[in-house]
Chain A
Amino acid sequence: MARAAVLRGLSWRVATVVGVRDETAAGRTIVFELPGWPGHAAGQHVDVRLTAPDGYSTQRSYSIASAPGGDLVELTVERLPDGEVSPYLTQVLSVGDQIELRGPIGGWFVWDDASPDPVLLIAGGSGVVPLAAMVRARFAVGSSAPFRLLYSVRDPASLLFGAELDHYQRTDLSFGVHLAFTRTAPADVPRPVGRIDAAFLTDATAGGPFSAPDAPAVFACGPTGFVEAVANLVVAAGHEARRIKTERFGPSGSQR
């Protein structure tokens, strides 16, 4: 089990913004400095709390995007048009600002960086964030665990971490990315626009230890409907339910 799995007295701490980076038109990475951060495992999340001058307070959960290490924690947040918190985090929050944050949270949906087992990651939209943390952790620790990422995204402009993921798969043959564009695909992608289905799963898991007999660790993250659909596909393909870990977030943006 990941070393950060045991929480003691989880409480709010003050995080200072030390950097912001636009990833897409709606997605921004915010770099927080957290003195005394106990460290996290790839896949964990934090809760963010905002309090208005009149005392009204609201909180949301966001996955950590960065690999473990140091006092800096990166969150990549996608702005929701009618969101209450995400517009503030992605459009207002600036370097030097402080917010309340608690974590790291959740010892279940985490990748153990000491495990040599193959890993199959399946992301829907901004559900790629905790899975990107696992990919980054893999490269940060120099793991040779075979990794494959299946990433469903609306269109090329919504792709998070596209250049970085591409760089990884060009430099390491045991890491690969397969993209499913659901609305608009780039001209050079032969596969027609569409969601992840059984045929896509078969193609994207070929040529590596990612099929059911290989028993890869499967992590699926995305909107609730997406996760339900891909979890069913993976089970139908013969993977054991105990090897599949899921993380759902609501389309309302109530989570991550």
Chain B
Amino acid sequence: MSVPLDGNAIAGALGELFAVDVSVARLECGGCGMEGVVAEVVVYIDAPGVVARCRACDNVLFRLVRAPDRAWLDLRGVAYLRLRTTST
């Protein structure tokens, strides 16, 4: 049985790919327009990859699949990601 977790659970997998902590980024669901934080979306990690869904409308926000030397990140369900950066 697949158990839903929080986006927080994949902060490590995202941290491997990005220079900033994507788990604290805000996003808007491309399906229903709800705004939220990556750490709070619904995440399934026991699929062949990671599937993240909107907590409000169940839309697939993004999918992440890893191979030893590659990562596929499909972000088609996300309208935007707003990342915190250090000021320049």
Contact = CB atoms under 8 A, between A and B. Distances in A.
Interface of A: 1, 5-11, 45-47, 61, 102-103, 105-109, 224, 245-252, 254-255
Contacts, number: 89
A109 B12 contact: no
Nearest to B6: A248
Interface string B1-26: 10111111101100110111101100
5 contacts: A8-B19, A103-B12, A108-B11, A108-B23, A248-B5
B64 interface: no
Instruction: Please tell me the size bucket of the interface on B.
Output: 20 to 34
A85 to B, nearest CB: 14
A108 B5 contact: no
B45 interface: yes
Nearest to B24: A107
B78 interface: no
Given A7-B15, A7-B19, 19 more contacts: A1-B84, A6-B21, A8-B19, A10-B16, A45-B8, A61-B12, A102-B16, A107-B11, A108-B8, A108-B11, A108-B39, A109-B39, A245-B39, A245-B40, A247-B6, A248-B3, A249-B5, A254-B45, A255-B5
Interface string B31-71: 00000011110000110000000000000000000000000
